[in-house]
Amino acid sequence: MASLFLLIFLLHSLNSTIAAAAGGGGGNISVSDFGAVGNGRRYDTRAIQAAIDACASAGGGRVKFPAGGDYLTGTVFLRSGVVLEVERGARILGGAREEDYPPDSARWYVVLAENATGVGITGGGEINGQSEAFVVRPDPRKNVMVSWNRTGVCLGDECRPRLVGFVDSKEVKVWDITLNQSAYWCLHLVRSNDISIHDIAIYGDFNTPNNDGIDIEDSNNTIITRCHIDTGDDAICPKSSTGPVYNLTATDCWIRTKSSAIKLGSASWFDFRNFLFNNITICESHRGLGMQIRDGGNVSGIVFSNIKVSTRYYDSLWWGRGEPIYITTCPRDSTSKSGFITDILFENISAVSENGVFLSGSKYGFLSNIKFKNVNLTFKRWTRYPGGLYDYRPGCKELVNHSTSGMMMEYIDGLSVENVNMKWFKSKVKGWSFPLEFKGSTVAKLSFHEWNSDVF
C-alpha cells in the first residue's frame, strides 16, 4: 500500500506542476483601471467583472487588486486563464445582501469559476465573506444564522453564500491567500480536476455552523499542502454527491475546528478511494480523523500517517464527542443503504483526547482490513462538558448514552493493532469503562501485537 501511495503522490506532484502554469497568459490588469474604488462601501462588482473579462479576452493573465483597498462585491465570475492576484494589504469583501448573488442559490459564491481551465487565486491578500453580517443571534453554543430560504430550494442552514467556488473546472490553483470569515462553506471544489491548494490560511468564526474550510465534492487529483485552517465546522471534507472522489493528498497542515478536522462524508453516494493524509497537526478539535458514510458509497485505500491529534468536548449541538478517530458507516435513513469501508491504515498517530476511538460499521456495511500501527492514545479529561455519549449523527442512532471506552468496535471484519499504547489519566469523572469494548457477535478477525494499556 505504501508504494501505491508514493505513486499517487508523484502523480499529484505532476498535476500540481501543470496547475502551476495557470494564469500564464497575456499579462496583468488592475481592477482600478476599470473603475474599482476599493473603499469598502461602494460596490466594485461591475469593475471587477470587467477587468476579469478583459483579461480573459486578451488571452489570460492576472487581475490585480492593489494593496490598501477593500473591494466590496457581489458574485464575480472567474474566466479561463485568469488568476486573481489580491495583493498583500488588499481585501475582497463579499456582499451581505441576497441581491448581491445570482437567483440560483447553487451559484451563491463571492468568487465563482464555472467550466474554467487554468484559473487561480493568489497574491498574499484576503477574501472576506463578512460572516458577522449573517448572524441573526449570537450564541456561545452555536450562532443562529440568516436564511435566504424564500423559494424553498435550499434548507435553512444551506441558505447563505459560500466564499470561493470552482465548479466543473480543471487546472485550478489557489495559493498564498487568506480566506476569512465565510458565511457558509469557504473553499468549494465541485466536479473539478487537477487541483493544487497550498500555503493558504482559512479563518472562520468558531461559533458559526457550516463554515467548512475546504470541501472537495466529486473532484479528483487534488493536492492540499501547508495550509492553516481554524474554523467552526469541518476543516477538510471530501464529499461524493454526483460522482466518486479519488486521488486526494493533504500534507503539512495545521487544523482546529469545532467539528471534524478531516471528514469523509456525510454526503457519500459514490466511492472514496486513494487518499493520503500525512504530517498534519490537529489542535483542540471536536473530532480528529473521521468518516461519516451514510448514503451507500464505499471507502478504500485511505492512509493517515504522521499525525498529531488533540480532541476535546464542546457543546453537544456540534457533531462530535471528542473522538480522535471516528470511522462509521450506516444508512442515513430508511431510503439509504450502508457502504463498506476497507483498507484503512493509521500509522504513526499520536493523540491526546477526552474520548476514545470509535469504530462502527453496520449490519450491511462492515469495516474490514483496518490497521493501527505505531499509535499512541492518551485519554484524559480537562473540560467540564459531560461525557458518556456515543455520537452517530447524522441519522443512525443519533446520540446514545453509553460509558466511555478507549476503543469501541462494532461490525468489523478484520482489525490489526500493532504497537498501540493507551495511557489513561486518573479522573474524578465517572463513566470510563474498558480499554477495548466490542460484541463478539459483530466483530471478527482481530489481531493484537504489542498492545499496551496503562493508568497514570
Instruction: Tell me what pLDDT residue 16 has.
Output: 42
**Partners of 293 in the β-ladder:** 266, 329
pLDDT band at 27 (very low <50, low <70, confident <90, very high): confident
- What is the rounded CA–CA span in Å between residue 361 and residue 405? 17
DSSP conformation letters of 259-326: SEEEEEEE-BSS-EEEEEEEEEEEEEESEEEEEEE-SS--EEEEEEEEEEEEE----TTSS--S-SEE
- What is the rounded CA–CA span in Å between residue 54 and residue 39? 23
Please say if the pLDDT value at position 229 is more than 80: yes
pLDDT band at 19 (very low <50, low <70, confident <90, very high): very low
Instruction: Tell me what pLDDT residue 439 has.
Output: 81
Beta-carbon contacts of residue 57 (< 8 Å; ≥ 6 apart):
none
Instruction: Tell me what pLDDT residue 25 has.
Output: 55
Helix (H, G, I), strand (E, B), or coil: what is residue 14?
Answer: helix
> Average pLDDT of 295-318?
97
Tens digit of pLDDT for each residue in 281-306? 999 999 999 999 999 999 999 999 99
Residue 450: CB atoms within 10 A of its CB come to 11
Instruction: Tell me what pLDDT residue 433 has.
Output: 76
Tens digit of pLDDT for each residue in 232-250? 999 999 999 999 999 999 9
What average pLDDT does the chain have?
A: 93
Beta-carbon contacts of residue 13 (< 8 Å; ≥ 6 apart):
223
- What is the rounded CA–CA span in Å between residue 189 and residue 181? 18
Instruction: Tell me what pLDDT residue 183 has.
Output: 98
Instruction: Tell me what pLDDT residue 5 has.
Output: 46
What percentage of the chain exceeds 90 in pLDDT?
A: 84
Query: Which of 152-156, 188-192, 421-425 is predicted least confidently?
Result: 152-156
Tens digit of pLDDT for each residue in 74-118? 999 999 999 999 999 999 999 999 999 999 999 999 999 999 999
Instruction: Tell me what pLDDT residue 113 has.
Output: 99
Provide the grid cell at 158: 444551506
The residue written with cell numbers 442512532 in the block is 397
**Domain ranges for the chain:** 1-233, 242-456
Helix (H, G, I), strand (E, B), or coil: what is residue 110?
Answer: strand
Instruction: Tell me what pLDDT residue 156 has.
Output: 79
> Average pLDDT of 170-180?
98
Report which DSSP code applies to 87: B
Tens digit of pLDDT for each residue in 33-68? 999 999 999 999 999 999 999 999 999 999 999 999
First to last CA, the chain: 36
Q: Cβ(238)–Cβ(248) under 8 Å?
A: yes
What percentage of the chain exceeds 70 in pLDDT?
A: 93
Tens digit of pLDDT for each residue in 261-284? 999 999 999 999 999 999 999 999
Q: Cβ(385)–Cβ(314) under 8 Å?
A: yes
Fold of 1-233: Pectate Lyase C-like (2.160.20)
% helix, strand, coil for the chain, step of 5 = 10, 50, 40
Query: Which of 11-15, 71-75, 374-378, 430-434 is predicted least confidently?
Result: 11-15
Please say if the pLDDT value at position 125 is more than 70: yes
